[in-house]
Amino acid sequence: MATTLSGVVVFVVSLLVGGAAIYAGALVALKGRDYTHAVVTALLGALAWTGVEVALAWADVNVGSLASLLALVVWVGVVKYRYDAGWLRAALIGVFAWVAALVALAVLGPLGVPGIDAYGVPGA
């Protein structure tokens, strides 16, 4: 039971970190919405990224790095849709979210918080 509970806690905290990073990225890119909107965007982005990679694996398409690039384009598309932005603005939100996630994880690391990630932010 403790491992299931700790897994759920890590997932929720990681999703909140990812949402905070997207929220910060959107504020910097001048397309800010509320924090809940950013957390839902992080969840949808993570699902979209996973969906692309699973679909390509299921179809037995071995394209290596192109799969990650395609997943990234789909993720930016999710941000574009959720923030009613153009492709460039959505990509900027993504870049700023990535930086914010790295900063958040750098702060959480020394605090001894194990297993935390930034779900919904690629590469963080």
Mean pLDDT per 10-residue segment, the chain (124 residues): 70 87 89 88 90 82 78 93 94 92 86 78 76
What are the structural domain ranges in the chain? 17-111
Looking at residue 2, what is its pLDDT? Answer: 52
Q: Which residues of 40-53 are buried (b: 16+ CB within 10 A; e: fewer)?
A: bbbbbbbebbeebe
d(CA 46, CA 43): 5
pLDDT at position 56 is 83
Nearest CA among 57, 53, 86 for reference residue 71: 53
Q: What is the pLDDT of residue 119?
A: 82
Rounded Cα–Cα distance for residues 116 and 70 (Å): 25
| Cβ pair 89, 31 in contact under 8 A | yes
C-beta separation of 72 from 46 below 8 A: no
- Cβ-proximal residues to 91 (8 Å cutoff; 6+ apart), any chain: 76
